[in-house]
Amino acid sequence: MLEIKTLDNLFGTTEGLIGPMGGGKTNEFIRRCKRLVNFADSKRYVVRIVKSPIDDRIVQVLREVFEGDPTKTIQSRDGLIISKGVYSIKDSYELFHLLDEARIEAEERFGLSRVVIAISETQFLDSGVVDFVDSLDNNTYLLWEGLDKSFRGEPFLFSDYKATIFDLMDLSDELFNLPAICEHPDCTRRNVNYTQRINEEELPSHYGEELIVVGELQYQARCREHHIVPGRRKANILRSTVRIKGNQGIKFNELFDLGEMVGIPVDETKQLLDCFIREKQFQLKDNYLIYTGTKNHF
Ligand SMILES: [Zn+2]
């Protein structure tokens, strides 16, 4: 039987908007949020729109294109703005408080505890957002928006490196993919899903660079062929070498030697190991490297 789509049967579900930079996720998110806010009183629910402080900082760097208080506003690259019901949160733990407050407000105003939570740039939060989504009841509708893949072309790791956005995708009832057009000058492919990061020296970002950088970096939508990540193949070799050793791990020096044998310069091995240790994919214990990566990383 065909299900009739109503606002009522959104409650109890989670929906995600995913895709690369330039695919129009923020536009679509703001469009949906505005519609949900406009009908909140007449259809009897309370809306909370959430953004992370990392996004505030990025917006402050781009201040010339931004209007108003960045902590209380979400703006797309095309200039679409929403400010009503927008809250900035420090960590995902605050989501639980925000939901409790919204439930009480909804109960008082409408005698129903129906709440809509909408999260922008979800990839900037910590992995607690996965627990939050897993805990939602039938009176809550969650809409989230975020980059599914990092500049490395891998599932985006949350800020505490304990889960990825793919864990959130697994918990979502429906996902809407918003692909883009490849921005490489020699390419006209549509429906592309990768985000190319170009650093301050106008070069593709190396795999070992920080996952989130607040600064003047360029991001472009790219197809798989034109998505360039120097060091990615080498990172995969090092990671799989450590991972297959399991709990016993591999000696630090041994990995450098193995790296050199397959053509990875010592400096690059060091840069990649720094990255894996920083992001808690490897743990260094008594000169042994042990794989401690997230289950959904690959
Ligand atoms: Zn292309």
Q: Which tens digits make up the pLDDT trace of 229-275? A: 999 999 999 999 999 998 899 998 999 999 999 999 999 999 999 99
Cα-to-centroid distance, 208 and ligand 1 (Å): 23
Least confident of 56-60, 218-222, 267-271: 56-60
Q: Which tokens hold the place of 280?
A: 């808690």
Query: Contact 173/13 with Cβ under 8 angstroms?
Result: yes
C-alpha span between 274 and 268 (Å, rounded): 10
**pLDDT at residue 259 in the model:** 93
pLDDT at residue 54 in the model: 76
User: To the nearest whole number, what is the mean pLDDT of the chain?
Assistant: 91
pLDDT (mean) for 33-37: 95
Q: Tell me what pLDDT residue 268 has.
A: 96
CATH topology of domain 8-177: Rossmann fold (3.40.50)
At residue 60, the pLDDT reads 58
User: β-strands 46-51, 140-146: how paired?
Assistant: unpaired
Q: Is the pLDDT of residue 56 over 70?
A: no
Distance 214 CA to ligand 1 centre (A): 26
- Cβ-Cβ contacts under 8 Å for 36 (sequence gap 6 or more): 47, 116, 118, 143
Give CA–CA dist 76/60, Å, rounded: 14
Angle at 264 between CA 259 and CA 268, to 5 degrees: 105
Cα separation values, 123 from 11, 128, 223, 283, Å: 23, 12, 21, 23
Q: What pLDDT does residue 154 have?
A: 95
CA–centroid distance, 186 to ligand 1, in Å, is 7
How many Å lie between the centroid of ligand 1 and the Cα of residue 182?
5
Q: Note the pLDDT of residue 240.
A: 93
Which residues are CB-neighbours of 205 under 8 A, at least 6 positions away?
Answer: 151, 197, 198, 199, 217, 229, 230
Q: Distance between CA atoms of 214 and 230, rounded to whole angstroms?
A: 21
- C-alpha of residue 203 to centroid of ligand 1, in Å: 17
CA atoms of 135 and 37, how far apart (whole Å)? 23
Confidence at residue 275, expressed as pLDDT on a 0 to 100 scale:
96
> Ligand 1: distance of its center to the CA of 194 in Å?
10
Per-residue confidence (pLDDT) for residue 59, from 0 to 100: 59
Q: Which of 291, 119, 271, 124 is nearest to 211 (CA)?
A: 124
Distance in Å, CA 284 to ligand 1 centroid: 39
**pTM (two decimals):** 0.91
How many whole angstroms from 192 Cα to the centroid of ligand 1? Answer: 8
Domain edges within the chain? 8-177, 232-291
Range 201-213 average pLDDT: 92
Cα of 206 from ligand 1 centre, angstroms: 19
From ligand 1's centre to the CA of 183, what distance in Å? 7
How far, in Å, from the CA of 220 to the mean position of ligand 1? 11
Residue 31 CA to ligand 1 center (angstroms) comes to 28
Q: How far is the CA of 189 from the centre of ligand 1 (A)?
A: 6
